Structure 1
Protein backbone atom coordinates (compact mmCIF):
# COMPACT_ATOMS: atom_id res chain seq x y z
CA UNK A 1 0.00 0.00 0.00
CA UNK A 2 1.22 3.50 -0.82
CA UNK A 3 2.05 5.14 2.50
CA UNK A 4 2.56 8.65 1.06
CA UNK A 5 0.02 10.85 2.83
CA UNK A 6 -0.73 14.49 2.12
CA UNK A 7 -3.34 17.01 3.20
CA UNK A 8 -4.79 19.62 0.87
CA UNK A 9 -7.80 21.91 0.59
CA UNK A 10 -10.87 20.01 -0.63
CA UNK A 11 -12.57 20.79 -3.92
CA UNK A 12 -16.07 19.89 -5.07
CA UNK A 13 -14.45 17.02 -7.00
CA UNK A 14 -13.83 15.43 -3.57
CA UNK A 15 -17.55 15.45 -2.71
CA UNK A 16 -18.17 11.76 -3.61
CA UNK A 17 -15.28 10.62 -1.39
CA UNK A 18 -16.32 12.89 1.50
CA UNK A 19 -19.95 11.80 1.13
CA UNK A 20 -18.81 8.18 1.32
CA UNK A 21 -16.87 8.91 4.52
CA UNK A 22 -19.88 10.70 6.02
CA UNK A 23 -22.32 7.99 4.95
CA UNK A 24 -25.16 10.44 5.55
CA UNK A 25 -25.38 12.75 2.55
CA UNK A 26 -25.40 12.31 -1.21
CA UNK A 27 -22.64 13.90 -3.36
CA UNK A 28 -24.86 16.51 -5.11
CA UNK A 29 -26.13 17.79 -1.75
CA UNK A 30 -22.57 17.86 -0.41
CA UNK A 31 -21.37 19.83 -3.46
CA UNK A 32 -24.07 22.44 -2.86
CA UNK A 33 -23.18 22.64 0.83
CA UNK A 34 -19.47 22.98 0.08
CA UNK A 35 -20.14 25.78 -2.40
CA UNK A 36 -22.28 27.65 0.12
CA UNK A 37 -19.86 27.50 3.04
CA UNK A 38 -19.35 30.98 4.49
CA UNK A 39 -16.00 32.71 4.71
CA UNK A 40 -13.99 31.37 7.62
CA UNK A 41 -14.54 27.68 6.85
CA UNK A 42 -12.11 25.15 5.43
CA UNK A 43 -12.54 21.56 4.33
CA UNK A 44 -9.27 19.65 4.18
CA UNK A 45 -8.78 16.16 2.81
CA UNK A 46 -6.08 13.59 3.46
CA UNK A 47 -4.95 11.68 0.41
CA UNK A 48 -3.02 8.45 0.27
CA UNK A 49 -1.90 7.99 -3.31
CA UNK A 50 -4.81 9.15 -5.46
CA UNK A 51 -7.54 8.37 -2.93
CA UNK A 52 -9.15 10.50 -0.23
CA UNK A 53 -8.88 8.64 3.09
CA UNK A 54 -10.13 11.34 5.46
CA UNK A 55 -11.45 14.86 5.81
CA UNK A 56 -11.86 17.59 8.39
CA UNK A 57 -14.16 20.61 8.32
CA UNK A 58 -12.97 23.49 10.48
CA UNK A 59 -14.57 26.90 10.98
CA UNK A 60 -13.61 30.09 12.78
CA UNK A 61 -15.87 30.54 15.81
CA UNK A 62 -15.63 34.19 16.87
CA UNK A 63 -16.36 35.01 20.49
CA UNK A 64 -17.30 38.20 22.30
CA UNK A 65 -16.34 36.67 25.65
CA UNK A 66 -12.86 35.38 24.84
CA UNK A 67 -10.28 34.63 22.21
CA UNK A 68 -11.54 33.38 18.88
CA UNK A 69 -11.37 29.65 18.45
CA UNK A 70 -12.10 27.23 15.64
CA UNK A 71 -14.71 24.50 15.65
CA UNK A 72 -14.05 21.09 14.19
CA UNK A 73 -17.42 20.77 12.48
CA UNK A 74 -16.72 17.41 10.85
CA UNK A 75 -14.03 14.76 10.84
CA UNK A 76 -13.99 11.29 9.33
CA UNK A 77 -11.32 8.77 8.35
CA UNK A 78 -11.86 5.65 6.26
CA UNK A 79 -12.19 2.59 8.50
CA UNK A 80 -9.12 0.91 7.01
CA UNK A 81 -7.00 4.03 7.65
CA UNK A 82 -7.94 4.62 11.29
CA UNK A 83 -5.13 4.38 13.83
CA UNK A 84 -2.59 5.12 11.08
CA UNK A 85 -2.00 8.83 11.80
CA UNK A 86 -4.48 10.20 9.23
CA UNK A 87 -6.82 11.73 11.83
CA UNK A 88 -3.96 13.20 13.86
CA UNK A 89 -2.49 14.78 10.72
CA UNK A 90 -5.87 16.27 9.80
CA UNK A 91 -6.27 17.73 13.32
CA UNK A 92 -2.75 19.21 13.14
CA UNK A 93 -3.45 20.76 9.74
CA UNK A 94 -6.78 22.15 10.99
CA UNK A 95 -4.96 23.68 13.98
CA UNK A 96 -2.41 25.29 11.63
CA UNK A 97 -5.24 26.67 9.47
CA UNK A 98 -7.01 27.99 12.58
CA UNK A 99 -3.81 29.65 13.85
CA UNK A 100 -3.40 31.38 10.47
CA UNK A 101 -6.97 32.70 10.90
CA UNK A 102 -6.34 34.20 14.35
CA UNK A 103 -7.74 31.39 16.47
CA UNK A 104 -6.25 30.36 19.80
CA UNK A 105 -7.69 26.87 20.06
CA UNK A 106 -9.84 24.14 18.56
CA UNK A 107 -13.07 22.79 19.99
CA UNK A 108 -15.57 20.14 19.05
CA UNK A 109 -18.62 18.46 20.46
CA UNK A 110 -19.04 14.72 20.85
CA UNK A 111 -21.74 12.63 22.46
CA UNK A 112 -20.99 10.33 25.36
CA UNK A 113 -21.49 7.19 23.29
CA UNK A 114 -18.41 7.73 21.10
CA UNK A 115 -15.74 6.40 23.47
CA UNK A 116 -13.26 5.49 20.71
CA UNK A 117 -13.53 9.02 19.30
CA UNK A 118 -12.95 10.45 22.79
CA UNK A 119 -9.73 8.42 23.12
CA UNK A 120 -8.63 9.79 19.74
CA UNK A 121 -9.43 13.39 20.74
CA UNK A 122 -7.47 13.06 23.99
CA UNK A 123 -4.54 11.51 22.08
CA UNK A 124 -4.48 14.50 19.71
CA UNK A 125 -4.39 17.11 22.49
CA UNK A 126 -8.05 17.81 23.23
CA UNK A 127 -9.25 17.82 26.83
CA UNK A 128 -12.79 17.30 28.03
CA UNK A 129 -14.00 20.62 29.41
CA UNK A 130 -16.99 19.53 31.47
CA UNK A 131 -20.10 17.40 31.33
CA UNK A 132 -21.30 19.33 28.31
CA UNK A 133 -24.90 18.78 27.30
CA UNK A 134 -25.91 19.78 23.79
CA UNK A 135 -29.33 21.31 23.32
CA UNK A 136 -30.97 21.58 19.90
CA UNK A 137 -33.94 23.56 18.74
CA UNK A 138 -35.36 23.00 15.27
CA UNK A 139 -36.26 26.09 13.29
CA UNK A 140 -39.56 25.52 11.53
CA UNK A 141 -39.57 26.79 7.98
CA UNK A 142 -35.78 27.25 7.80
CA UNK A 143 -34.55 27.02 4.22
CA UNK A 144 -31.55 24.93 3.24
CA UNK A 145 -30.12 26.14 -0.05
CA UNK A 146 -29.73 22.54 -1.23
CA UNK A 147 -32.97 20.90 -0.12
CA UNK A 148 -35.54 23.68 0.39
CA UNK A 149 -37.68 24.30 3.47
CA UNK A 150 -37.25 21.94 6.39
CA UNK A 151 -39.95 20.23 8.34
CA UNK A 152 -38.36 20.89 11.72
CA UNK A 153 -34.80 19.77 11.02
CA UNK A 154 -31.95 22.04 12.06
CA UNK A 155 -30.33 23.49 8.95
CA UNK A 156 -27.32 25.77 8.58
CA UNK A 157 -27.90 29.43 7.84
CA UNK A 158 -25.56 30.80 5.18
CA UNK A 159 -24.27 34.26 6.03
CA UNK A 160 -21.64 34.79 3.33
CA UNK A 161 -20.35 32.76 0.44
CA UNK A 162 -16.76 32.18 -0.54
CA UNK A 163 -15.41 31.48 -4.01
CA UNK A 164 -12.51 29.35 -2.63
CA UNK A 165 -14.30 26.02 -3.10
Structure 2
Protein backbone atom coordinates (compact mmCIF):
# COMPACT_ATOMS: atom_id res chain seq x y z
CA UNK A 1 0.00 0.00 0.00
CA UNK A 2 1.26 3.44 -0.80
CA UNK A 3 1.46 6.06 1.87
CA UNK A 4 -1.27 8.07 0.14
CA UNK A 5 -4.66 7.82 1.89
CA UNK A 6 -7.45 6.03 0.05
CA UNK A 7 -10.71 7.96 0.13
CA UNK A 8 -13.71 6.06 1.50
CA UNK A 9 -17.18 7.47 0.96
CA UNK A 10 -19.45 6.04 3.66
CA UNK A 11 -23.05 7.24 3.84
CA UNK A 12 -22.05 10.39 1.95
CA UNK A 13 -19.27 11.09 4.46
CA UNK A 14 -15.69 11.34 3.21
CA UNK A 15 -13.16 9.37 5.23
CA UNK A 16 -9.65 8.22 4.42
CA UNK A 17 -8.03 4.83 4.87
CA UNK A 18 -4.24 4.88 5.25
CA UNK A 19 -1.31 2.93 6.57
CA UNK A 20 -0.99 3.46 10.33
CA UNK A 21 1.92 5.45 11.71
CA UNK A 22 3.52 5.35 15.14
CA UNK A 23 1.44 8.33 16.31
CA UNK A 24 -1.74 6.27 15.73
CA UNK A 25 -0.84 3.50 18.19
CA UNK A 26 -2.69 4.89 21.22
CA UNK A 27 -5.90 5.39 19.19
CA UNK A 28 -5.65 1.87 17.73
CA UNK A 29 -5.11 0.37 21.20
CA UNK A 30 -8.16 2.29 22.44
CA UNK A 31 -10.29 0.90 19.59
CA UNK A 32 -9.17 -2.66 20.28
CA UNK A 33 -9.59 -2.36 24.06
CA UNK A 34 -13.11 -0.94 23.67
CA UNK A 35 -14.38 -4.27 22.31
CA UNK A 36 -15.64 -6.63 25.00
CA UNK A 37 -13.74 -9.71 23.72
CA UNK A 38 -10.48 -7.73 23.81
CA UNK A 39 -10.90 -6.47 27.36
CA UNK A 40 -9.36 -9.60 28.85
CA UNK A 41 -6.39 -9.16 26.51
CA UNK A 42 -5.69 -5.47 27.08
CA UNK A 43 -5.93 -4.26 30.65
CA UNK A 44 -7.52 -0.96 31.55
CA UNK A 45 -4.09 0.60 32.08
CA UNK A 46 -3.16 0.22 28.40
CA UNK A 47 -2.89 4.01 28.09
CA UNK A 48 -0.40 4.16 30.94
CA UNK A 49 2.34 2.23 29.14
CA UNK A 50 2.32 1.99 25.36
CA UNK A 51 5.82 0.44 25.27
CA UNK A 52 4.72 -3.11 24.33
CA UNK A 53 2.26 -1.73 21.75
CA UNK A 54 4.90 0.50 20.20
CA UNK A 55 7.30 -2.46 19.98
CA UNK A 56 4.57 -4.50 18.28
CA UNK A 57 3.85 -1.61 15.92
CA UNK A 58 7.52 -1.43 14.91
CA UNK A 59 7.53 -5.17 14.15
CA UNK A 60 4.34 -4.83 12.09
CA UNK A 61 5.45 -1.70 10.28
CA UNK A 62 8.83 -3.09 9.22
CA UNK A 63 7.45 -6.43 7.98
CA UNK A 64 6.30 -6.27 4.33
CA UNK A 65 3.88 -9.15 5.01
CA UNK A 66 2.01 -6.99 7.56
CA UNK A 67 -0.23 -4.01 6.95
CA UNK A 68 -1.92 -2.07 9.74
CA UNK A 69 -4.40 0.50 8.47
CA UNK A 70 -6.56 3.15 10.08
CA UNK A 71 -9.55 5.12 8.90
CA UNK A 72 -9.65 8.84 9.68
CA UNK A 73 -12.65 11.12 9.85
CA UNK A 74 -12.27 14.78 10.77
CA UNK A 75 -8.73 14.13 11.98
CA UNK A 76 -9.71 11.28 14.33
CA UNK A 77 -8.99 7.56 14.03
CA UNK A 78 -12.40 5.88 13.83
CA UNK A 79 -11.49 2.39 12.59
CA UNK A 80 -8.60 0.00 12.14
CA UNK A 81 -7.64 -3.44 10.85
CA UNK A 82 -4.51 -5.48 10.23
CA UNK A 83 -3.78 -7.60 7.18
CA UNK A 84 -1.17 -10.35 7.14
CA UNK A 85 -0.09 -11.90 3.84
CA UNK A 86 0.79 -15.56 4.37
CA UNK A 87 2.61 -17.67 1.79
CA UNK A 88 1.91 -21.38 1.98
CA UNK A 89 2.20 -24.68 0.19
CA UNK A 90 -1.52 -25.46 0.43
CA UNK A 91 -3.78 -24.56 -2.51
CA UNK A 92 -0.92 -24.91 -5.00
CA UNK A 93 1.33 -22.50 -3.12
CA UNK A 94 -1.33 -19.84 -2.75
CA UNK A 95 -0.81 -16.60 -0.90
CA UNK A 96 -3.59 -15.83 1.57
CA UNK A 97 -4.61 -12.68 3.40
CA UNK A 98 -5.47 -12.91 7.08
CA UNK A 99 -7.68 -10.08 8.39
CA UNK A 100 -7.27 -9.29 12.08
CA UNK A 101 -8.41 -6.75 14.66
CA UNK A 102 -11.18 -5.14 12.61
CA UNK A 103 -12.60 -2.38 14.79
CA UNK A 104 -14.97 0.48 14.07
CA UNK A 105 -15.58 3.06 16.76
CA UNK A 106 -19.09 2.68 18.25
CA UNK A 107 -20.35 6.03 16.93
CA UNK A 108 -19.39 5.11 13.35
CA UNK A 109 -21.04 1.68 13.23
CA UNK A 110 -24.08 0.84 11.16
CA UNK A 111 -23.23 3.23 8.33
CA UNK A 112 -21.27 0.91 6.04
CA UNK A 113 -17.73 1.73 7.17
CA UNK A 114 -16.90 -1.86 8.13
CA UNK A 115 -18.16 -3.11 4.75
CA UNK A 116 -16.14 -0.44 2.93
CA UNK A 117 -13.04 -1.47 4.88
CA UNK A 118 -13.56 -5.15 4.09
CA UNK A 119 -14.12 -4.40 0.39
CA UNK A 120 -10.85 -2.47 0.44
CA UNK A 121 -9.09 -5.38 2.21
CA UNK A 122 -10.39 -7.86 -0.37
CA UNK A 123 -9.24 -5.58 -3.20
CA UNK A 124 -5.80 -5.22 -1.57
CA UNK A 125 -5.56 -9.02 -1.23
CA UNK A 126 -6.39 -9.40 -4.93
CA UNK A 127 -3.86 -6.70 -5.84
CA UNK A 128 -1.17 -8.66 -3.97
CA UNK A 129 -2.11 -11.92 -5.68
CA UNK A 130 -3.88 -13.68 -2.82
CA UNK A 131 -6.11 -16.66 -3.59
CA UNK A 132 -8.00 -16.49 -0.28
CA UNK A 133 -9.02 -13.97 2.38
CA UNK A 134 -9.55 -15.44 5.83
CA UNK A 135 -10.35 -14.20 9.30
CA UNK A 136 -11.32 -15.40 12.73
CA UNK A 137 -13.93 -13.88 14.99
CA UNK A 138 -14.56 -14.44 18.67
CA UNK A 139 -17.47 -16.87 19.09
CA UNK A 140 -19.36 -14.33 21.19
CA UNK A 141 -19.47 -11.76 18.36
CA UNK A 142 -22.58 -13.08 16.62
CA UNK A 143 -23.40 -9.73 14.99
CA UNK A 144 -19.91 -9.73 13.47
CA UNK A 145 -20.50 -13.25 12.16
CA UNK A 146 -23.68 -12.09 10.40
CA UNK A 147 -21.78 -9.11 9.00
CA UNK A 148 -19.01 -11.31 7.55
CA UNK A 149 -21.62 -13.68 6.13
CA UNK A 150 -23.29 -10.79 4.30
CA UNK A 151 -19.91 -10.02 2.74
CA UNK A 152 -19.64 -13.57 1.38
CA UNK A 153 -17.42 -15.16 4.04
CA UNK A 154 -18.35 -18.67 5.14
CA UNK A 155 -17.76 -20.26 8.53
CA UNK A 156 -15.63 -23.06 7.12
CA UNK A 157 -13.30 -24.00 9.97
CA UNK A 158 -13.21 -24.31 13.74
CA UNK A 159 -10.32 -22.41 15.32
CA UNK A 160 -8.28 -23.36 18.34
CA UNK A 161 -5.99 -21.25 20.51
CA UNK A 162 -3.47 -22.13 23.17
CA UNK A 163 -2.51 -19.31 25.50
CA UNK A 164 1.14 -19.42 26.44
CA UNK A 165 1.85 -18.05 29.91
CA UNK A 166 4.84 -15.79 30.29
CA UNK A 167 7.76 -17.90 31.39
CA UNK A 168 10.55 -17.00 33.76
CA UNK A 169 13.62 -18.27 31.93
CA UNK A 170 15.88 -17.34 34.83
CA UNK A 171 14.25 -19.45 37.39
Q: Normalising by the residue count of structure 1, what TM-score does the alignment of the two structures yield?
A: 0.76
- Shift in Å, 1:151: 3.1
Q: Distance in 2 between matches of 1:56 and 1:93?
A: 11
Q: Distance in 1 between matches of 2:58 and 2:161?
A: 28
The answer to whether the Cα contact below 8 Å between 1:53 and 1:77 also exists between their aligned partners in 2 is: yes
Provide structure 1 residue ranges, at least 5 long, that are not aligned to the other structure: 141-149, 153-165
- 2:57 corresponds to 1:34: yes
- 2:124 corresponds to 1:97: yes
Provide structure 2 residue ranges, at least 5 long, that are not aligned to the other structure: 1-11, 34-41
- 2:77 corresponds to 1:52: yes
Larger RCO, structures 1/2 (Cα 8 Å, 6+ apart): 1
- Higher mean C-alpha displacement, 73-82 vs 2-11: 2-11
Aligned positions, number: 140
> Is the partner of 2:162 in helix, strand or coil?
coil
Q: Which residue of 1 aligns with 2:167?
A: 151
- Shift in Å, 1:115: 0.3
The answer to whether the Cα contact below 8 Å between 1:55 and 1:76 also exists between their aligned partners in 2 is: yes
The answer to whether the Cα contact below 8 Å between 2:32 and 2:103 also exists between their aligned partners in 1 is: yes
Structure 1 stretches (4+) deviating beyond 4 angstroms?
none
> Is the partner of 1:91 in helix, strand or coil?
helix
Q: Distance in 2 between matches of 1:128 and 1:93?
A: 21
> Is the partner of 1:36 in helix, strand or coil?
helix
- Shift in Å, 1:137: 5.5
Q: Which residue of 2 aligns with 1:161?
A: none
Query: Whose helix fraction is larger, Structure 1's or Structure 2's?
Result: 2
Q: Distance in 2 between matches of 1:49 and 1:123?
A: 29
- Shift in Å, 1:53: 0.5
- Shift in Å, 1:10: 0.9
Q: Which residue of 2 aligns with 1:5?
A: 15
